Amino acid sequence: MTSSRGRTTLSAGKMAEHRSKGKKPSRNGDNDILPEDLRGLSSRVLVKDALLRLQGLVLDGSKEVQQAAFRAIGNLLAERFSEVYPLLFPWVESDEPRVRRAVAVAIWMAARPQRYDMAEPLLKLVELLLPDREDEVRWQVGPKAIAKGLLIHYPDDTFEYLMKWSTSHDEQVLWNVAMGLSGAAQVGLTSKALIILRRLALDERRYVWRAVASAMWRLGRRTPERVLAELRLWLSDEDRAHVARVALRHI
Predicted confidence at residue 4, as pLDDT, reads 38
Residue 87 CB coordination number (10 Å): 15
Helix (H, G, I), strand (E, B) or coil at 21: coil
Closest CA to 154 of 129, 196, 125, 197: 125
pLDDT at residue number 42: 47
* Average pLDDT score over the chain: 87
Q: What are phi and psi of 169, to 5 degrees?
A: -100, -10
Q: Is the pLDDT of residue 105 over 80?
A: yes
- What pLDDT is attached to residue 137? 98
* Predicted structure pTM score: 0.83
Segment of 27-31, 111-115, 163-167 carrying the highest mean pLDDT = 163-167
Instruction: Count other Cβ atoms within 10 Å, centred on residue 39.
Output: 15
Contacts with 249 (C-beta within 8 Å, 6 or more apart), sequence order: 217
**Using CA atoms, how far apart are residues 107 and 47, in angstroms rounded to an integer?**
17
Whether residue 172 has pLDDT greater than 80: yes
Task: Return the minimum-mean-pLDDT range out of 35-44, 60-69, 184-193, 234-243.
Answer: 35-44
Average pLDDT over residues 214-235: 97
**Residue 29 backbone class (left: φ over 0; alpha: ψ -120 to 50; beta: rest):** left
Check residue 32 and give its pLDDT.
58
Residue 31 reports pLDDT greater than 90: no
CA dist., res. 55 & res. 196, Å (int)? 36
**Residue 74 pLDDT exceeds 60:** yes
Q: pLDDT confidence of 46, banded at 50, 70, 90?
A: confident
Of 37-51, 149-163, 179-193, the one with minimum mean pLDDT is 37-51
DSSP state of 94: -
CA atoms within 13 A on the CB side of 18: 4
Residues 83-96, mean pLDDT to the nearest whole number: 97
